[in-house]
Amino acid sequence: MAQYEGIQLEGKDSNTMKDHIQSSHNILVSALYNIEPLLDQMIASHLLTHENYCEIRSEKTPPQKARKLLEIVHLQMNDREAWRFVECLKKCKHHYPRLKNWLAEDIGIKRGPTEQKLLKQASTLCQRLGHLIRPIVMRLFSNETVSQYELDIVQGESTLYCQAQQLINICLQKGERSCQRLYEALREEDMVLAEDIDDAEQTTSLSSHSPIPQEETQPIPSLLEDLRLKCVFGEEVQLQQAEKELIREVLSQFQLDTGRTMSLNVCEFGVLLGLLRKVVQECLFELENTEDVQQLAAVIHMFLEKTNNTERLRQKMASVNFYRLQLSRRAKLLLQLLQSSRADCRCGKEVSQQLSNVCLFIMRDCLAETEEDASEVPTLGIMECLQRLERNKRADIVILRELAELWGDGAEENFEKSIPFIAQLVKDTFPLVDAVEFDAIPVWRGVYRCHPRVIKRVTSFKGLPSRIIQKVIQPKSLLTLLSEERTYFENQQLLDEEYTQLCLKILNILQRVQDYQSNKLPTKLNRHLDKQYVAMEIRKLLTTEDFGWTSFDSGMRARLLSLVDFEPLSYNRSLFLKLHYDTFLSLAEYLKSNDRQRFQFVFEEVHMYQCNGELCRVQSVRDPVNIDGGMEEVFQISTSNCASFMIQLHCRGYVDDQYFQCNRPLLYKLSNLSGTLQEEAEKVGTVIAKQAGTTWIREHPDGRLKEITERMMQNSGVTIEVGSCCFRVNSWSAECEIRVCYKDDMIIATAEQNADVY
């Protein structure tokens, strides 16, 4: 029987949450007379499979449904999932008044502080551990925290995410000491990542520290009682009680702060509900406020106004992928800066130039995130940034047009009017993305363009060894500094000192990068240099060849220059310091040696073949690895159902500091061929697909297909199109995985899971 260290159930023989639920079986069966809200909450929390959902719904009476659910909890869930089951019950407890006392009582199950921390960080760890999961689990196996059987379970999972999930479940089941050893192993493998995960948790929990008093967070019932939707034209929308109930449910489902925060891309929420992006944008831009609660209420009100179907909305809300709505740490800090500036504007302060500086900082940050070559970003003004964003087509043209009109005449009163558009630009530009992801954009019937959610630049930069990063950065000190923003308002001298020390650290690490690239001994720096000299040296270093856009990420370079251009004390913005520390943490992450920085597979287009399925997205599930003389990466492809489709892609990167791009073997799309020519082409190539008089053929390495097609083009009526490497995939489920390999100047694809590849 498994032992649970640090978990004690007072006054009971059992010691797990599952045992406590089982001992309360009669209470739960009689209380769960309306099981639908609980099932919806469990699906939204990814705690219930579709198969289990149908199994429960097939039962005829409410007690039978409740018993089936409790049977699934007891037989199929581990103890961590049982805790999550109780959390789901708490989120919809207003549906189950008989459980009020049961949910409110102290059931006596005690978790240690590290267990609680691991429960809170489990999702983040699963997303970010990646290939670290293997050395971590081996460390735990060597110190006997994990048994051979448990090691086999972890290593038997097909994806790194699932391996991390299994390991976390095992440690939680074993108790406090096992959780401590998991974090010890993580710190031994990658101290920077461990501190960054802790920092992200602290940053998320920090409230917005603005120079003026902020409204306190209200309890959800109190908030909804007085909730009104105010529009910029003076109109006020009164919400019905049914709408308020739905708003309460979505706030509970997403566990949102009810204060005046901007932490979600609510426009994306509306799109996932099935509404047109343009319609959702117009709805949000008419609001007087840009906070999450107001925007969510507006989208829900609009959906019901158009459909008058609350059940349909509930079903769609339950299926929304919360991950798609979340913003990066950088986005949240930029939105805090925007809110702080708006507060100053409403207080009537003489801050026109400061507000302009905030806009310039944000616009440069957005452009640095989206421009392939961001070398010129630090020299551009606001209008020039808008023009570049329009040119690279990474931002919504509606937003850019509105901002251009508002800022074109330079009127000070237009700043507040531009806030909703700037906020949406930030939300669209900085989604929470931990891996390479491509969204599917339909361009023709059954044809999708693969659009990367964020720019992933490739350079010849090789990174620094972890030991050098650790010596210079010392990330532990950042956690305290990021959580003490209140002190900065009281002591400007402290603000100035922290900024100077940060610049000195930046200069030190950049000098190490240059020395390491040039194989020189480390340069000794004076720790008592004044900030003007340090800033000048940083600018000087960043102009060298070692930091050119082909040698170093140009977006990171642009952020580093913003660090010295926007001094917190000069601009009276302590939030600038917080953003500069975020730049420092991002730099620490970027400095690690990573094959992804020098190599990349780029998905171009997906053509659905003889099926009615839809493409949802393509994402990397395993980092690229240099092995057996080639580069390999595993991608997951999500479709609406089982489907057959053709994928076109190429790869690019640096080998021995030389840039290359490969799209071979090439694809030939041949139309209107005679039978003889068709047979001749098929002998020297691989037929991928045939449809409506068109044949897709992939060339063989001998190159004979090219010669034949050149001869065919002399025949009138024959149409030939040449494109990048193409593979046809037959998937067996809505999610399949393929392994893509680049070797010997050719791209090869093989099936990894739930698919056949041709």
**Do 303 and 273 touch, CB atoms closer than 8 A?**
yes
Residues 612-626 as b or e (16 or more Cβ within 10 Å = b):
ebebbbbbbbbbbee
Cα–Cα distance for residue pair 20/79, rounded to 1 Å: 11
Cα–Cα distance for residue pair 681/670, rounded to 1 Å: 9
And the tokens for 198? 């802790």
Q: Which residues, including other chains, have CB under 8 Å from residue 57's CB and lie 6 or more apart?
A: 39, 65
Task: Tell me how long the chain is.
Answer: 758
And the tokens for 709? 């097609």
Q: State which amino acid sits at residue 100.
A: K
And the tokens for 63? 């007690």
**Do 93 and 255 touch, CB atoms closer than 8 A?**
no
Residue 257 has a pLDDT of: 65
Strand partners, 749: 740
Alpha helix (H) ranges present in 598-703?
A: 675-683
And the tokens for 207? 């409230």
Cα–Cα distance for residue pair 414/404, rounded to 1 Å: 11
The end-to-end CA distance of the chain, in Å, is: 48
170: closest CA among 148, 142, 195? 148
Cα–Cα distance for residue pair 398/273, rounded to 1 Å: 21
The secondary structure of 100-162 as a DSSP string is: HHHHHS---B---HHHHHHHHHHHHHHHH-GGGHHHHHHHHHHTTSS-HHHHHHHHTSSSHHH
Cα–Cα distance for residue pair 43/27, rounded to 1 Å: 23
**Do 404 and 382 touch, CB atoms closer than 8 A?**
no
Residues 672-687 as b or e (16 or more Cβ within 10 Å = b):
ebeeebeebbbebbbe
Cα–Cα distance for residue pair 536/161, rounded to 1 Å: 44
Phi/psi at 164 (5° precision): -65, -40
Residue 217 has a pLDDT of: 41
Cα–Cα distance for residue pair 728/180, rounded to 1 Å: 46
179: closest CA among 123, 111, 79? 111
And the tokens for 399? 């937003």
The contacts found for 525-532 with CB under 8 angstroms, 24 or more apart, are: 529/504, 530/500, 531/496, 531/499, 531/500, 531/503, 531/567
3-state secondary structure of 589: helix
Residue 13 has a pLDDT of: 35
- 3-state SS of 366-423 is HHHHHCCCCCCHHHCCHHHHHHHHHHHCCCCHHHHHHHHHHHHCCCCCHHHHHHHHHH
Within 13 Å of residue 307, how many CA atoms lie on the same side as its CB? Answer: 17
Asked if the peptide bond before residue 665 counts as cis, ω within 30 degrees of 0, the response is: yes
Cα–Cα distance for residue pair 558/543, rounded to 1 Å: 11
Q: Which residues, including other chains, have CB under 8 Å from residue 355's CB and lie 6 or more apart?
A: 341, 344, 345, 412, 415
Q: What is the mean pLDDT of each successive set of 10 residues along the chain, which is 758 residues long? A: 34 57 82 84 79 82 86 81 82 79 61 80 81 87 82 77 82 82 88 77 44 39 66 78 84 73 90 92 88 90 90 87 88 89 63 77 94 93 93 91 84 76 94 87 90 91 79 54 46 78 88 81 68 89 91 94 87 80 88 86 92 87 88 92 92 91 91 77 84 85 80 74 92 91 94 91
